[in-house]
Amino acid sequence: MLNTMVDTHIQIMENLKTMGSDLDMAGETLLQCLLHSGKLLICGNGGSASDAQHFAAEIVGRFEQERSAFPAIALSTDTSILTAVGNDYGYDQVFARQVMGLGQLGDVLIGISTSGNSGNVLKAVEQAQSKGMITVGLLGKDGGTLKERVDQAIVVDSPTTARIQEAHIFILHYWAWLIDIELLKVCGDKG
């Protein structure tokens, strides 16, 4: 069983090589947002919520290079907001309501969904687009409903949630690396 899991993981990672231009384009979108005083809002459920939090930490902190902090917020981290909005408006609004309050023109929303069909991520995308924000979907399986709704869709084509999540964290690390390198080139500071 271990060999099968490793082989499947390797194949999915190999498939990422064919997505290079799409990954670079999305990474450039994130970079331009930060360079133009925008912020990244990131949302997802379960493991994708953890990935959102992890990526926000890489942007506010740093990935591998010392540099200034930049704004990124994981919308899955404030339990008071999540429970209040979930109770008062419904769970499908827990991210959209935060985008309504925090998002601005020039910001980017990254919606992470291994199925591509997370209702609360879809509502957040709709809210972001109503504010003129750019939306990036980090998706799995066939991309689901979100594939057609986001401005830029990155789809890891696998039926297995765990393998999708492994690829998603690699992609987020790749974007964090691109952002580190490019911000150092443009801003020239080391922290």
pLDDT at 36 over 80: yes
Q: What is the mean pLDDT of the chain?
A: 96
What is the mean pLDDT of the segment spanning 32-43?
Answer: 97
Boundaries of every domain in the chain: 2-186
**Confidence band of 184 (pLDDT split at 50, 70, 90):** confident
| Per-residue pLDDT, 187 | 76
Structural contact between residues 78 and 53, judged by C-beta atoms closer than 8 angstroms: no
What is the mean pLDDT of the segment spanning 40-58?
Answer: 98
pTM (2 d.p.): 0.96
What is the mean pLDDT of the segment spanning 134-138?
Answer: 98
Q: Tell me the per-residue pLDDT of 59-108, one tens digit each, with 9 for 90 and over.
A: 999 999 898 999 999 999 999 999 999 999 999 999 999 999 999 999 99
| Per-residue pLDDT, 61 | 95
Strands of the 108-113 sheet, one edge to the other: 72-74, 40-43, 108-113, 134-140, 152-156
Cα–Cα distance measured from residue 67 to residue 71, given in angstroms and rounded to the nearest whole number: 13
Q: Tell me the per-residue pLDDT of 4-19, one tens digit each, with 9 for 90 and over.
A: 999 999 999 999 999 9
Candidates 3.40.50.10490, 3.40.50.2300, 3.30.420.40, 3.20.20.60; CATH matching 2-186: 3.40.50.10490
